[in-house]
Amino acid sequence: MADPIEQDYILKTALSAEGMFALYEFTTLLFAVNYVQTRCQRLIDIIWKDSKIALAHYDNLIVCSQDLRSHIKNLREILDLLEKVNFGVIKEKCASGKTEFQFFGHVETKNGVRSNMYRMKRIDRRDSLENRLDLSGVSGL
């Protein structure tokens, strides 16, 4: 997914490779360097702003229910809304009937949120945190 760069700014993206006699200009911003993630989250926030049965962040959606009957009703409501806004569901990523799950480095339960002990142990060791990837593994982001 790429967004076009305005004509006036294309020259500002120009670069040349060592030993080459050419100037390369970008005409689009690649997914990783633009604001697609921010726009995506804004869209998610708009879609789910009135929901009292679901928590949403990027492509993570958690449907909360008290019992099986209400959970089935809530899932139908959620799936109808997803279809209405032309969003899909990846069945392999779905799980149902869980009373405990991990979400952004924390463990969510019916009694509340607690720290993920595995991540806490990694922080205590500190010796394994050598770069950004290690840090993101501990933070859950």
Residue 122 has pLDDT above 70, yes or no: no
The answer to whether residues 122 and 129 touch, using CB atoms and an 8 Å cutoff, is yes
Kindly provide the b/e burial profile for residues 86-116, where b requires at least 16 CB atoms within 10 angstroms of the residue's own CB: eeeeeeeeeeeeeeeeeeebebbeeeeeeeb
CA torsion, points 66, 70, 71, 75, in degrees to nearest 10? -140
Mean of per-residue pLDDT scores for the chain: 77
* pLDDT tens digits, one per residue of 20-62: 677 777 788 765 555 667 778 888 888 888 888 888 887 888 8
In this predicted structure, what is the pLDDT of residue 128? Answer: 59
- Bigger pLDDT: 124 vs 28: 28
* pLDDT tens digits, one per residue of 98-116: 888 887 777 888 888 877 7
* pLDDT tens digits, one per residue of 68-79: 999 999 999 999
In this predicted structure, what is the pLDDT of residue 99? Answer: 84
State whether the Cα torsion 37-39-40-45 is positive or negative: positive
CA angle 42/136/124 to nearest 5° reads 135
62 token code pair: 């958690």
Specify the DSSP element, H or E, that contains 112: strand 112-115
Which of 107, 57, 97 is CA-nearest to residue 75?
97
The answer to whether residues 23 and 15 touch, using CB atoms and an 8 Å cutoff, is yes
pTM: 0.55
